[in-house]
Structure 1
Amino acid sequence: MRPYPGKELSNERRIFNYRPSRARRVIENSFGIIAQRFSLLRSPIPATSQNVMNYVKACIALHNFLRTQDLSASNDAQYIPHGYADVGDENNGEWRQGEASLALRNINRMGSNNTKSAAKEMREILTNYFVNESSVPLQRTIVGLE
């Protein structure tokens, strides 16, 4: 979902732009850590689509298992030591310095600015949802409204 363009946005549009941006950051952090730990995910996998999905699911299951096992370990023995993962929106984790981070590059402009009307309508629906029914406590503070 494309963010609203421009700098002079309404409060609702600023909140909308924040929410997918935050979700993307969390997903990048999670997948980046998994790819850093499991080299299988650092390049295209020569397998059928079904097998690729199974490999990724297995890596996620192992990742989740390892996360629960090292909660009481010393920082040196932890699967994800302090400072390895991103903290907040501005503090990049150490995983971004590794080889796996090369797979998560910024995407340059692709195509035109002609967004289809259905996509625009969905963005408006999500904007309303994020501002009202799905509002989270910090979103107004993060985008500078409080």
Structure 2
Amino acid sequence: MAKEKFVRSKPHLNIGTIGHIDHGKTTLTAAITKTLARHGGADFTPFDMIDKAPEERDRGITINISHVEYQTEARHYAHIDCPGHADYIKNMITGAAQMDGAILVVSAADGPMPQTREHVLLARQVNVPALVVFMNKC
């Protein structure tokens, strides 16, 4: 699906995953593509293929925003996986500025952390209109 030319036959939404480093943003993104791939709405993008740069793979962190696409019966989605590390906050802002909605990923084991709060604040500052919370690592 991602390699096909996008034909606007459904409403389009830009969404993304935001939150603290190591809370599971990229893992959730991979899980969404895996689930939707079972129904033909996406190409499964494994966790280790979302972060494409060699440095990201070597260090096990997201540095640049990554994009995946998928669809449901009702909508087409462009999903932006944002970095959680404080050193790459500018990259997170770049991704969030394009979002129609965000998924705030929070580890239940750690609770809200400094980057969690900062990502919520920055999402609001760039006018992300909708935010949902995904509790991870329960």
The two structures have a TM-score, normalised by structure 1, of: 0.23
Q: Which structure: greater strand fraction?
A: 2
Q: Which structure: greater helix fraction?
A: 1
Max radius of gyration: which structure? 1
Q: Which has the higher contact order (CA 8 A, sep 6+)?
A: 1
The two structures have a TM-score, normalised by structure 2, of: 0.24
